Amino acid sequence: MALVIAGERSGVGKTTVTLTLLASLRRRDRLVQSFKVGPDYIDPMFHRHVTRRACRNLDPVLTSEAYIQQCFARHSHLSEYALVEGVMGLFDGIGYGQEKQKSTDFASTAHIARLLDLPVVLVIDCSRLSGSVAAIAHGYRSFDPRIKIAGVVLNRVGSDRHLSLLKDSLEPLQLPILGVLRRQDNITIPDRHLGLVPTAELPELNALIDRLADLGDTCFDWQRLLPLLKSKPLPHPPHPLHPPSLVRIAVARDRAFNFYYQDNLDLLQQLGAELVFWSPLEDADIPKNVQGMYFGGGFPEVFAQQLAENSSVRDAVKTAILKGMPTIAECGGLMYLCEQIIDFEGKSWSMAGVLPTSAVMGGRLTLGYRRAVALQDNLLVKANTTVYGHEFHRSHLTLTPTQPLFKTSRYDCEENMGCEGWGLPANVHASYVHLHWGESAEIPQQFLKGCLKVASSGMWI
Protein backbone atom coordinates (compact mmCIF):
# COMPACT_ATOMS: atom_id res chain seq x y z
CA MET A 1 0.00 0.00 0.00
CA ALA A 2 0.99 3.60 -0.62
CA LEU A 3 -0.85 6.70 -1.74
CA VAL A 4 -1.05 8.82 -4.89
CA ILE A 5 -1.63 12.56 -4.59
CA ALA A 6 -3.54 13.71 -7.68
CA GLY A 7 -5.10 16.98 -8.79
CA GLU A 8 -8.30 17.65 -10.66
CA ARG A 9 -6.12 19.84 -12.90
CA SER A 10 -2.75 21.58 -12.88
CA GLY A 11 -2.19 24.32 -10.33
CA VAL A 12 -4.53 23.02 -7.62
CA GLY A 13 -1.75 22.56 -5.07
CA LYS A 14 -0.54 18.95 -5.49
CA THR A 15 3.05 19.88 -4.68
CA THR A 16 2.05 21.90 -1.61
CA VAL A 17 -0.11 19.05 -0.31
CA THR A 18 2.61 16.49 -1.04
CA LEU A 19 5.32 18.52 0.69
CA THR A 20 3.02 19.18 3.64
CA LEU A 21 2.46 15.45 4.06
CA LEU A 22 6.16 14.66 3.69
CA ALA A 23 7.23 17.41 6.09
CA SER A 24 4.80 16.27 8.76
CA LEU A 25 5.87 12.64 8.38
CA ARG A 26 9.54 13.57 8.66
CA ARG A 27 8.80 15.65 11.76
CA ARG A 28 7.35 12.47 13.23
CA ASP A 29 10.70 10.84 12.38
CA ARG A 30 9.07 8.54 9.85
CA LEU A 31 11.05 6.97 7.02
CA VAL A 32 9.24 7.90 3.82
CA GLN A 33 10.00 7.26 0.14
CA SER A 34 8.56 9.64 -2.43
CA PHE A 35 7.96 9.31 -6.15
CA LYS A 36 7.02 11.78 -8.88
CA VAL A 37 4.97 10.98 -11.97
CA GLY A 38 6.46 12.34 -15.18
CA PRO A 39 9.81 13.79 -16.29
CA ASP A 40 9.96 16.59 -13.70
CA TYR A 41 13.33 17.41 -12.08
CA ILE A 42 12.46 20.23 -9.67
CA ASP A 43 9.60 18.78 -7.61
CA PRO A 44 11.80 15.76 -6.76
CA MET A 45 14.44 18.19 -5.41
CA PHE A 46 11.89 19.43 -2.87
CA HIS A 47 10.89 15.88 -1.97
CA ARG A 48 14.51 14.96 -1.38
CA HIS A 49 15.15 18.04 0.74
CA VAL A 50 12.31 17.03 3.04
CA THR A 51 12.70 13.24 3.16
CA ARG A 52 16.51 13.08 2.84
CA ARG A 53 15.95 10.27 0.33
CA ALA A 54 16.22 10.53 -3.45
CA CYS A 55 12.81 10.89 -5.09
CA ARG A 56 12.23 8.52 -8.02
CA ASN A 57 10.55 9.48 -11.30
CA LEU A 58 7.80 7.20 -12.63
CA ASP A 59 7.44 7.80 -16.35
CA PRO A 60 6.31 5.06 -18.79
CA VAL A 61 7.34 7.12 -21.82
CA LEU A 62 10.95 7.54 -20.74
CA THR A 63 11.13 3.99 -19.34
CA SER A 64 8.34 1.37 -19.43
CA GLU A 65 5.39 0.09 -17.43
CA ALA A 66 7.46 -2.84 -16.16
CA TYR A 67 10.28 -0.52 -15.06
CA ILE A 68 7.84 1.63 -13.09
CA GLN A 69 6.58 -1.39 -11.19
CA GLN A 70 10.12 -2.61 -10.51
CA CYS A 71 11.34 0.85 -9.46
CA PHE A 72 8.42 1.35 -7.09
CA ALA A 73 8.82 -2.10 -5.54
CA ARG A 74 12.58 -1.75 -5.16
CA HIS A 75 12.48 1.58 -3.35
CA SER A 76 9.17 1.61 -1.47
CA HIS A 77 9.89 -1.58 0.46
CA LEU A 78 12.88 0.08 2.14
CA SER A 79 10.70 2.70 3.88
CA GLU A 80 7.81 2.82 6.32
CA TYR A 81 5.66 5.01 4.09
CA ALA A 82 5.47 5.73 0.38
CA LEU A 83 3.90 8.66 -1.44
CA VAL A 84 3.50 9.37 -5.16
CA GLU A 85 2.97 12.92 -6.41
CA GLY A 86 1.00 13.02 -9.65
CA VAL A 87 1.31 15.22 -12.71
CA MET A 88 -1.22 17.71 -14.13
CA GLY A 89 -4.82 16.52 -13.74
CA LEU A 90 -5.56 12.94 -12.72
CA PHE A 91 -6.43 11.73 -16.22
CA ASP A 92 -4.18 14.07 -18.25
CA GLY A 93 -1.86 11.92 -20.34
CA ILE A 94 -0.69 11.70 -23.91
CA GLY A 95 -2.51 10.49 -26.98
CA TYR A 96 -0.97 7.09 -27.61
CA GLY A 97 0.79 4.30 -25.77
CA GLN A 98 4.06 2.76 -26.81
CA GLU A 99 2.23 0.06 -28.77
CA LYS A 100 0.36 2.72 -30.78
CA GLN A 101 -2.94 1.85 -29.12
CA LYS A 102 -5.27 4.78 -28.52
CA SER A 103 -5.09 5.81 -24.86
CA THR A 104 -5.89 9.34 -23.77
CA ASP A 105 -4.44 8.86 -20.29
CA PHE A 106 -1.21 7.03 -21.07
CA ALA A 107 1.53 8.35 -18.74
CA SER A 108 -1.06 10.12 -16.59
CA THR A 109 -1.36 9.91 -12.82
CA ALA A 110 -4.32 7.56 -13.29
CA HIS A 111 -2.17 5.29 -15.46
CA ILE A 112 0.48 5.06 -12.73
CA ALA A 113 -2.16 4.45 -10.04
CA ARG A 114 -3.53 1.53 -12.07
CA LEU A 115 -0.07 0.11 -12.75
CA LEU A 116 0.80 0.13 -9.05
CA ASP A 117 -2.72 -0.62 -7.80
CA LEU A 118 -2.64 2.37 -5.43
CA PRO A 119 -5.47 4.47 -4.01
CA VAL A 120 -5.70 8.14 -4.98
CA VAL A 121 -6.30 11.25 -2.91
CA LEU A 122 -7.81 13.98 -5.08
CA VAL A 123 -6.74 17.57 -4.36
CA ILE A 124 -9.46 20.07 -5.24
CA ASP A 125 -8.92 23.83 -5.48
CA CYS A 126 -11.94 25.19 -3.64
CA SER A 127 -11.07 28.88 -3.95
CA ARG A 128 -13.79 29.58 -6.51
CA LEU A 129 -16.46 26.99 -5.76
CA SER A 130 -18.67 25.62 -3.01
CA GLY A 131 -21.54 23.27 -3.89
CA SER A 132 -19.95 22.34 -7.21
CA VAL A 133 -17.22 20.48 -5.35
CA ALA A 134 -19.51 17.44 -5.18
CA ALA A 135 -19.95 17.34 -8.94
CA ILE A 136 -16.17 17.45 -9.40
CA ALA A 137 -15.53 14.74 -6.83
CA HIS A 138 -18.34 12.53 -8.17
CA GLY A 139 -17.10 12.91 -11.75
CA TYR A 140 -13.54 11.94 -10.91
CA ARG A 141 -14.63 9.00 -8.77
CA SER A 142 -16.97 7.57 -11.41
CA PHE A 143 -14.97 8.35 -14.58
CA ASP A 144 -12.77 5.25 -14.37
CA PRO A 145 -13.97 2.47 -12.05
CA ARG A 146 -10.44 1.02 -11.99
CA ILE A 147 -9.27 4.07 -9.98
CA LYS A 148 -9.97 3.98 -6.26
CA ILE A 149 -10.48 7.50 -4.90
CA ALA A 150 -9.68 7.13 -1.20
CA GLY A 151 -10.76 10.66 -0.38
CA VAL A 152 -10.26 14.33 -1.13
CA VAL A 153 -8.12 17.15 0.17
CA LEU A 154 -9.84 20.52 0.04
CA ASN A 155 -7.29 23.21 -0.74
CA ARG A 156 -7.56 27.00 -0.49
CA VAL A 157 -10.61 26.98 1.75
CA GLY A 158 -11.52 30.54 2.63
CA SER A 159 -13.50 30.45 5.87
CA ASP A 160 -15.46 28.28 8.29
CA ARG A 161 -18.64 29.09 6.35
CA HIS A 162 -16.95 28.12 3.10
CA LEU A 163 -15.82 24.83 4.64
CA SER A 164 -19.32 24.12 5.92
CA LEU A 165 -20.77 24.55 2.41
CA LEU A 166 -18.12 22.22 0.97
CA LYS A 167 -18.76 19.53 3.59
CA ASP A 168 -22.52 19.73 3.15
CA SER A 169 -22.13 19.29 -0.59
CA LEU A 170 -19.81 16.29 -0.27
CA GLU A 171 -21.75 14.50 2.47
CA PRO A 172 -24.13 12.56 0.14
CA LEU A 173 -21.13 11.08 -1.67
CA GLN A 174 -19.76 9.54 1.53
CA LEU A 175 -16.29 10.39 0.24
CA PRO A 176 -13.83 11.01 3.10
CA ILE A 177 -12.35 14.48 3.48
CA LEU A 178 -8.75 13.60 4.34
CA GLY A 179 -7.44 17.12 4.64
CA VAL A 180 -8.43 20.77 4.65
CA LEU A 181 -5.89 23.46 3.79
CA ARG A 182 -6.91 27.07 4.32
CA ARG A 183 -5.67 29.84 2.06
CA GLN A 184 -2.07 30.43 3.07
CA ASP A 185 -0.36 33.77 2.63
CA ASN A 186 2.89 32.76 4.33
CA ILE A 187 3.53 29.58 2.29
CA THR A 188 4.69 30.38 -1.20
CA ILE A 189 7.26 28.56 -3.30
CA PRO A 190 8.70 31.01 -5.86
CA ASP A 191 8.78 30.09 -9.53
CA ARG A 192 10.23 31.37 -12.79
CA HIS A 193 10.36 30.53 -16.51
CA LEU A 194 10.73 26.73 -16.18
CA GLY A 195 8.70 26.13 -13.01
CA LEU A 196 9.64 26.27 -9.33
CA VAL A 197 12.94 27.79 -8.28
CA PRO A 198 15.23 24.86 -7.31
CA THR A 199 15.96 24.14 -3.68
CA ALA A 200 19.62 25.20 -3.82
CA GLU A 201 18.52 28.78 -4.55
CA LEU A 202 16.12 29.13 -1.62
CA PRO A 203 17.94 30.17 1.58
CA GLU A 204 14.65 30.27 3.51
CA LEU A 205 13.59 26.78 2.43
CA ASN A 206 14.00 25.13 5.84
CA ALA A 207 11.76 27.75 7.42
CA LEU A 208 9.18 27.11 4.69
CA ILE A 209 9.33 23.36 5.31
CA ASP A 210 8.82 23.97 9.03
CA ARG A 211 5.68 25.98 8.25
CA LEU A 212 4.45 23.18 6.01
CA ALA A 213 5.07 20.65 8.79
CA ASP A 214 3.11 22.86 11.23
CA LEU A 215 0.28 22.96 8.71
CA GLY A 216 0.43 19.22 8.10
CA ASP A 217 0.21 18.42 11.80
CA THR A 218 -3.24 19.98 11.99
CA CYS A 219 -4.86 19.92 8.54
CA PHE A 220 -4.92 16.16 7.76
CA ASP A 221 -6.99 13.28 9.08
CA TRP A 222 -3.96 11.23 10.08
CA GLN A 223 -5.97 8.32 11.49
CA ARG A 224 -7.25 7.65 7.99
CA LEU A 225 -4.14 8.70 6.08
CA LEU A 226 -1.42 6.74 7.87
CA PRO A 227 -2.82 3.29 7.00
CA LEU A 228 -3.07 4.37 3.35
CA LEU A 229 0.51 5.63 3.31
CA LYS A 230 1.95 2.56 4.99
CA SER A 231 4.37 0.72 2.76
CA LYS A 232 4.74 -3.04 2.69
CA PRO A 233 7.41 -5.39 1.34
CA LEU A 234 6.81 -6.35 -2.28
CA PRO A 235 8.56 -8.80 -4.58
CA HIS A 236 11.51 -6.94 -6.02
CA PRO A 237 14.80 -7.66 -7.77
CA PRO A 238 17.85 -7.62 -5.49
CA HIS A 239 19.51 -4.24 -5.21
CA PRO A 240 22.76 -4.46 -7.19
CA LEU A 241 25.99 -3.90 -5.35
CA HIS A 242 28.48 -1.36 -6.63
CA PRO A 243 31.52 -3.02 -8.20
CA PRO A 244 35.01 -1.63 -7.61
CA SER A 245 35.49 1.76 -9.24
CA LEU A 246 36.73 1.52 -12.81
CA VAL A 247 36.59 5.17 -13.79
CA ARG A 248 35.87 8.54 -12.20
CA ILE A 249 33.18 10.77 -13.69
CA ALA A 250 33.05 14.50 -12.95
CA VAL A 251 29.35 15.36 -12.46
CA ALA A 252 28.57 19.09 -12.48
CA ARG A 253 26.13 19.75 -9.65
CA ASP A 254 25.44 23.21 -8.28
CA ARG A 255 22.83 25.96 -8.68
CA ALA A 256 23.41 26.10 -12.45
CA PHE A 257 23.40 22.35 -13.16
CA ASN A 258 21.14 20.13 -11.09
CA PHE A 259 18.72 18.29 -13.40
CA TYR A 260 19.65 14.63 -12.96
CA TYR A 261 17.52 11.53 -12.66
CA GLN A 262 18.78 9.67 -9.61
CA ASP A 263 18.36 6.39 -11.48
CA ASN A 264 20.91 7.58 -14.07
CA LEU A 265 23.47 8.34 -11.38
CA ASP A 266 22.76 5.00 -9.69
CA LEU A 267 23.31 3.14 -12.96
CA LEU A 268 26.70 4.76 -13.47
CA GLN A 269 27.76 3.67 -10.00
CA GLN A 270 26.37 0.15 -10.46
CA LEU A 271 28.42 -0.15 -13.65
CA GLY A 272 31.63 0.79 -11.87
CA ALA A 273 31.86 4.57 -12.01
CA GLU A 274 32.89 6.75 -9.11
CA LEU A 275 30.94 10.01 -9.27
CA VAL A 276 32.85 13.16 -8.36
CA PHE A 277 30.48 16.08 -7.85
CA TRP A 278 31.84 19.55 -8.53
CA SER A 279 30.74 23.10 -9.34
CA PRO A 280 31.48 25.00 -12.57
CA LEU A 281 30.26 28.05 -10.65
CA GLU A 282 32.48 27.84 -7.59
CA ASP A 283 35.46 25.58 -8.27
CA ALA A 284 38.73 26.82 -9.71
CA ASP A 285 39.31 23.73 -11.86
CA ILE A 286 37.65 20.51 -12.93
CA PRO A 287 38.27 17.52 -10.64
CA LYS A 288 41.58 15.70 -11.03
CA ASN A 289 41.95 12.10 -12.16
CA VAL A 290 38.63 11.85 -14.02
CA GLN A 291 37.96 10.09 -17.31
CA GLY A 292 34.54 11.49 -18.16
CA MET A 293 32.29 14.49 -17.57
CA TYR A 294 28.51 14.80 -17.16
CA PHE A 295 26.72 18.16 -17.36
CA GLY A 296 23.02 17.87 -16.60
CA GLY A 297 20.35 20.43 -17.25
CA GLY A 298 19.51 23.36 -15.03
CA PHE A 299 19.60 27.13 -15.21
CA PRO A 300 22.96 28.22 -16.68
CA GLU A 301 21.19 31.28 -18.13
CA VAL A 302 20.40 32.52 -14.62
CA PHE A 303 24.06 32.19 -13.59
CA ALA A 304 25.59 33.05 -16.96
CA GLN A 305 27.66 35.94 -15.62
CA GLN A 306 29.19 33.85 -12.84
CA LEU A 307 29.88 30.98 -15.24
CA ALA A 308 31.48 33.39 -17.69
CA GLU A 309 33.65 34.95 -15.00
CA ASN A 310 35.02 31.54 -14.00
CA SER A 311 37.25 31.48 -17.06
CA SER A 312 39.74 28.99 -15.63
CA VAL A 313 37.05 26.31 -15.43
CA ARG A 314 35.68 27.15 -18.87
CA ASP A 315 39.15 26.79 -20.33
CA ALA A 316 39.77 23.54 -18.44
CA VAL A 317 36.49 22.04 -19.70
CA LYS A 318 37.30 22.97 -23.29
CA THR A 319 40.84 21.63 -23.03
CA ALA A 320 39.68 18.33 -21.55
CA ILE A 321 37.06 17.81 -24.26
CA LEU A 322 39.43 18.69 -27.09
CA LYS A 323 41.89 16.16 -25.65
CA GLY A 324 39.20 13.49 -25.94
CA MET A 325 37.38 13.50 -22.59
CA PRO A 326 33.99 11.72 -23.06
CA THR A 327 31.34 14.27 -22.10
CA ILE A 328 27.54 14.18 -21.77
CA ALA A 329 25.85 17.59 -21.91
CA GLU A 330 22.05 17.67 -21.61
CA CYS A 331 20.08 20.86 -22.26
CA GLY A 332 21.67 23.31 -19.80
CA GLY A 333 24.90 21.36 -20.19
CA LEU A 334 24.68 21.79 -23.96
CA MET A 335 24.25 25.54 -23.45
CA TYR A 336 27.40 25.64 -21.31
CA LEU A 337 29.43 24.01 -24.08
CA CYS A 338 28.33 26.69 -26.58
CA GLU A 339 30.39 29.76 -27.41
CA GLN A 340 27.94 32.05 -25.63
CA ILE A 341 24.69 32.26 -23.73
CA ILE A 342 22.61 35.29 -24.67
CA ASP A 343 20.25 35.93 -21.77
CA PHE A 344 16.70 37.29 -21.68
CA GLU A 345 18.04 40.86 -21.65
CA GLY A 346 20.16 40.27 -24.74
CA LYS A 347 23.47 40.26 -22.87
CA SER A 348 26.13 37.85 -24.14
CA TRP A 349 28.19 35.71 -21.78
CA SER A 350 31.14 33.56 -22.86
CA MET A 351 30.85 29.84 -22.20
CA ALA A 352 33.18 26.88 -22.80
CA GLY A 353 33.30 27.38 -26.57
CA VAL A 354 33.36 23.70 -27.53
CA LEU A 355 30.35 23.93 -29.86
CA PRO A 356 30.39 26.55 -32.67
CA THR A 357 27.01 28.01 -31.78
CA SER A 358 25.33 30.23 -29.18
CA ALA A 359 22.30 29.60 -26.98
CA VAL A 360 19.76 32.42 -27.09
CA MET A 361 17.06 32.75 -24.44
CA GLY A 362 13.56 33.58 -25.68
CA GLY A 363 9.90 33.55 -24.77
CA ARG A 364 8.99 30.41 -26.70
CA LEU A 365 8.81 27.25 -24.62
CA THR A 366 9.90 24.02 -26.29
CA LEU A 367 8.16 21.24 -24.39
CA GLY A 368 7.24 17.61 -24.91
CA TYR A 369 8.22 13.98 -25.21
CA ARG A 370 10.43 13.04 -28.14
CA ARG A 371 11.10 9.92 -30.15
CA ALA A 372 14.71 10.27 -31.29
CA VAL A 373 16.44 8.06 -33.85
CA ALA A 374 20.26 8.17 -33.84
CA LEU A 375 21.62 9.27 -37.21
CA GLN A 376 25.15 8.06 -36.48
CA ASP A 377 27.13 6.11 -33.94
CA ASN A 378 27.82 8.43 -31.03
CA LEU A 379 29.02 8.51 -27.46
CA LEU A 380 25.78 7.05 -26.06
CA VAL A 381 23.97 5.06 -28.76
CA LYS A 382 24.58 3.31 -32.07
CA ALA A 383 23.19 4.53 -35.39
CA ASN A 384 19.47 3.80 -35.98
CA THR A 385 18.83 3.27 -32.25
CA THR A 386 15.52 4.76 -31.08
CA VAL A 387 15.42 6.45 -27.68
CA TYR A 388 12.64 8.34 -25.91
CA GLY A 389 13.30 11.59 -24.13
CA HIS A 390 11.86 14.91 -23.08
CA GLU A 391 12.54 18.53 -24.03
CA PHE A 392 11.84 21.52 -21.77
CA HIS A 393 13.66 24.77 -22.54
CA ARG A 394 13.29 28.41 -23.58
CA SER A 395 16.52 28.71 -25.53
CA HIS A 396 17.46 28.00 -29.12
CA LEU A 397 20.78 27.70 -30.92
CA THR A 398 22.01 30.19 -33.52
CA LEU A 399 23.48 27.40 -35.66
CA THR A 400 22.36 23.82 -36.13
CA PRO A 401 24.89 20.97 -36.30
CA THR A 402 26.02 19.81 -39.74
CA GLN A 403 25.99 16.19 -38.52
CA PRO A 404 23.21 16.04 -35.90
CA LEU A 405 22.85 13.21 -33.42
CA PHE A 406 19.13 12.59 -33.77
CA LYS A 407 16.13 12.86 -36.03
CA THR A 408 13.29 13.67 -33.63
CA SER A 409 9.52 13.47 -33.72
CA ARG A 410 6.76 13.88 -31.20
CA TYR A 411 6.18 10.80 -29.10
CA ASP A 412 2.42 10.60 -29.61
CA CYS A 413 2.34 11.12 -33.40
CA GLU A 414 4.58 11.21 -36.45
CA GLU A 415 5.05 14.99 -36.45
CA ASN A 416 8.67 15.70 -37.41
CA MET A 417 10.45 17.88 -34.84
CA GLY A 418 13.66 18.18 -36.88
CA CYS A 419 17.23 17.07 -36.32
CA GLU A 420 19.25 18.07 -33.27
CA GLY A 421 22.19 17.22 -31.06
CA TRP A 422 25.95 17.73 -31.36
CA GLY A 423 28.35 14.82 -31.65
CA LEU A 424 31.45 16.67 -32.80
CA PRO A 425 33.97 16.28 -31.30
CA ALA A 426 33.08 12.57 -31.36
CA ASN A 427 33.64 12.27 -27.61
CA VAL A 428 30.74 14.66 -26.93
CA HIS A 429 27.03 13.99 -26.64
CA ALA A 430 25.32 17.39 -26.41
CA SER A 431 21.55 17.46 -26.81
CA TYR A 432 18.41 19.26 -25.67
CA VAL A 433 16.74 15.87 -25.18
CA HIS A 434 16.77 14.63 -21.58
CA LEU A 435 17.13 10.85 -21.33
CA HIS A 436 16.21 8.50 -18.49
CA TRP A 437 18.46 5.43 -18.69
CA GLY A 438 16.47 3.15 -16.41
CA GLU A 439 15.22 0.88 -19.20
CA SER A 440 18.35 1.33 -21.32
CA ALA A 441 21.46 0.31 -19.37
CA GLU A 442 23.31 0.12 -22.70
CA ILE A 443 23.41 3.94 -22.76
CA PRO A 444 25.62 4.38 -19.66
CA GLN A 445 27.52 1.25 -20.67
CA GLN A 446 28.37 2.86 -24.00
CA PHE A 447 29.45 6.06 -22.21
CA LEU A 448 31.66 4.16 -19.78
CA LYS A 449 33.32 2.28 -22.64
CA GLY A 450 34.57 5.64 -23.88
CA CYS A 451 35.69 6.57 -20.39
CA LEU A 452 37.57 3.27 -20.02
CA LYS A 453 39.44 3.99 -23.23
CA VAL A 454 40.63 7.23 -21.67
CA ALA A 455 41.65 5.39 -18.52
CA SER A 456 43.57 2.73 -20.45
CA SER A 457 45.34 5.37 -22.51
CA GLY A 458 46.75 6.91 -19.33
CA MET A 459 44.95 10.22 -19.92
CA TRP A 460 44.31 11.35 -16.37
CA ILE A 461 43.24 14.95 -16.22
Hey, which residues are catalytic here? 331
Is 131:157 a contact under the CB 8 Å cutoff?
no
Within 8 A by CB and 6+ apart from 238, the residues are none
Is 417:408 a contact under the CB 8 Å cutoff?
yes
Within 8 A by CB and 6+ apart from 46, the residues are 15, 19, 189, 196, 199
Sign of the Cα torsion 270, 276, 280, 285 reads negative
Comparing CA positions, the residue from 164, 317, 229, 204 lying closest to residue 17 is 229
Comparing CA positions, the residue from 86, 1, 87, 77 lying closest to residue 33 is 77
Amino acid at 105: D
**Beta strand 177-182 pairing with 191-192:** unpaired
DSSP state of 230: B
Distance CA 204, CA 207 (A): 5
197: alpha, beta or left? (left if phi > 0; alpha if psi -120 to 50): beta
Distance CA 296, CA 256 (A): 9
Comparing CA positions, the residue from 132, 229, 224 lying closest to residue 173 is 132
Distance CA 184, CA 48 (A): 23
Comparing CA positions, the residue from 130, 131, 228, 216 lying closest to residue 179 is 216
Give the C-alpha distances (Å, rounded to integers) separating 164 from 191, 247, 421: 33, 62, 56
Give the C-alpha distances (Å, rounded to integers) separating 377 from 3, 276, 385, 411: 43, 27, 9, 22
Amino acid at 407: K
DSSP 290-340: -SEEEE-EE-TTTTHHHHHH-HHHHHHHHHHHHTT--EEEETHHHHHHEEE
**Beta strand 434-435 pairing with 428-431:** unpaired
